[in-house]
Structure 1
């Protein structure tokens, strides 16, 4: 612990800059040796980063490739609105109570534009509200709070976001203010106004886990879809020894999350017991392939009600032991399990030698199943080599849902069926199976 009259930075202005090059910022705080600092580093992609300032603490900094502009007072009403050209990201302040900033831009009928505030996500006290106005000052749309789940340490998502298709050619105004009617030199914002820029960001949880050689572990991947992006996202795994795989790693169109599994090779070297993997997502946007790296995070609960994706520095895989049995799914027979409400389907299983001996049987269960889906009985053939588990779609299963089934195998005494299990006949966990893609049909 260090105590004393130490320099501590509370804010920087502007609160962001370009992806590359130098950005000169003003520092505010206590015991600072200087009121200015130069941010000089390259950022891999648009986002929020922690940067040093010469003080004892870091501050948050938003990096963007868009052209930047500084707010110019007086711009407190439509008549004195600051003229900007899209796309732009504006660095400004709500200086006093009751202050509103207006920005004027031109658009054409059918243009799809977005406006987004970075304030609370950068640690400023601003509780923004934005309004899009037509040339006469009539409100077309507005927004107060917008939830960005990728910022897991925020408990009040006070930044704003809106999108709109412009109704006519002409001039438009974007108004920004503080909905709590507060303002100060600390109420700093970055305001993006642009045509829609579809994109995505990924988080993966948990951030660290243990896997056995030949074993399989389930993970959650969360997608933050930006500016209307709805396309599928294909996940990849790298920076690991040969043989590691992601099973069924495609986030379907329009969905924000997916459970996947990671499988380890059975012949992994004993020296490779702690690994730092990289999970990426690829998607086609405007005829270009965009790749984003998934950031590790922990999905944590606050106050028994709210969940937050709390970021971690890196993902760590610890390899320990060897899986008891590696049961797999016969993907040649079923590339995707198609289910209909009120009906059943079979997931074919392949059993290695010894996983179901003469006096041991298997029960396969669904782990955290999608709504309306249940696992039925598990059947093993007389040769103890193949089998299947029945998946039941209840009548309330919602058509159109896609994702992955996560199956876990347990051992039970020969001849014992799932529906006849007694309280003292507890199944013993055997292994997790590779993820199985499914779709609920009409």
Structure 2
């Protein structure tokens, strides 16, 4: 069962990568599409304000509808690298927090960005490249005003993408440098996305987790699903759940809330004997209060591979019970 594959062969529009690899949440941004049968000029992508993590997106282009491709989203302003930022002396000035978007466009290329930090300020530096399908095997270095390397990384747990915390040794300007680790590598597909932001204590909240991407329920039958929750920042309160867009004839019982201090609840989907045989994208949303603040979270399914995206719906299919027989004139 784990050795299942899906092979798509097409001469239509197909997006293999974008530049930049992502954009700021709730904004419209011009993006260059890399692949086949795609516009040469950048296209405008509109990302909703409630987008989560890495989203799946498709576009209508003159040659047809593209495949669903991955786009990273973040809260912080996005900056594209400027030409000529190849040395510490010509480093591009940026203001934190920020997401730096660039490419190692040729062999030996390096990108430099300079920022201000205060003594003992802790900054989380998280570079995304391989996780978003880029060919870049990145190294990140932090230099002081004299050009000495005082921090950096070249990988993180479970990924070749660097992620580390930099603590400023004093007030001043610091330069972050992005480069390719392996010799003889560079090009259009060597893009990166480096987020730099102060370390932050997690706010009270929660994230609902879907059990999978799809489930089927037979007519006059039932199916059970479990919704898990990840609590953050000491949040421990009850969470009210709502299920939207169920197929006609399907109802849900139980699991209308996750009790205080609990992390999982079971829902039961039940279909009537004449429920419409169809598939619907179902949303599960949780609401709760942390003090006077109302918190809302849409249940998600995390991306399984670098080619996958975060999903915030689950397909619910109504099926005909087996064994069955169709009769008619064909």
Output the CA distance in 1 between the equivalents of 2:233 and 2:35. 42
* Whole-Å separation in 1 of the counterparts to 2:36 and 2:43: 15
Q: Does 1:314 align with 2:314?
A: yes
Q: Name the counterpart of 1:238.
A: 242
The answer to whether the 8 Å contact 2:210/2:314 transfers is no
Q: Shift of residue 163 of structure 1?
A: 2.3
Output the TM-score relative to the length of structure 2: 0.68
Residues 12 and 28, structure 1, Cα contact 8 Å, conserved in 2: yes
Q: Counterparts of 2:119 and 2:145 in 1: how far apart (Å)?
A: 13
Matched, 1:194 2:205: no
Q: Which residue of 2 aligns with 1:52?
A: 59
Superposition deviation, residue 57 in structure 1 = 2.9
Query: How far did 1:167 drift?
Result: 3.5
For the 8 Å contact 1:210–1:317, the answer to whether it is kept is yes
State the distance in 2 between where 1:29 and 1:309 align: 18
Aligned match of 1:30: 36
Match of 2:5 in 1: none
What SS is found at the alignment partner of 2:89?
helix
Pick one of 141, 145, 150 that aligns with 1:139.
150
Equivalent residue number for residue 114 of structure 1:
124
Provide the C-alpha distance between the structure 1 equivalents of 2:154 and 2:229, rounded to a whole number of angstroms.
24
Question: Aligned residue for 2:107?
Answer: 97
Q: Is the 8 A contact 1:124 1:187 kept in 2?
A: yes
Q: Deviation digits for residues 318-365 of structure 1, max 9, x if unmatched?
A: 7999xxxxxxxxxxxxxxxxxxxxxxxxxxxxxxxxxxxxxxxxxxxx
Query: Pick from 70, 76, 88: which aligns with 1:66?
Result: 76
Q: Which of 162, 171, 174 is 1:160 aligned to? A: 162
Give per-residue Cα distances to partners, 1:148-195, cap 9 Å, x unaligned.
Answer: xxxxxxxxx333322244342222222222233421121112221122
Residues in 2 aligned to 1:250 and 1:143: alpha-carbon distance in whole angstroms: 41
- What 5-or-longer segments of structure 2 have no aligned partner? 1-7, 245-250, 322-330
Contact 2:212/2:314, CA 8 A, preserved across alignment? no
Q: Which residue of 2 aligns with 1:179?
A: 181
Matched, 1:84 2:91: no
Gaps of 5+ in 1: 148-156, 253-257, 301-307, 322-442
Number of corresponding residues: 292
Question: For the aligned residues, what is the CA RMSD?
Answer: 4.3
Higher-Rg structure is: 1
CA contact (8 A) 2:22 2:193 kept: yes
Structure with the bigger RCO (C-alpha within 8 Å, sep 6+) is 2
- Aligned pairs for 1:267-306 (under 5 A) are 276-280=282-286, 290-296=295-301
Cα gap change, 1:106 to 1:204, in 2 (>3 Å): same
| CA-to-aligned-CA distance 1:128-162 (integer Å, 9 cap, x gap) | 23233444423234241354xxxxxxxxx333322
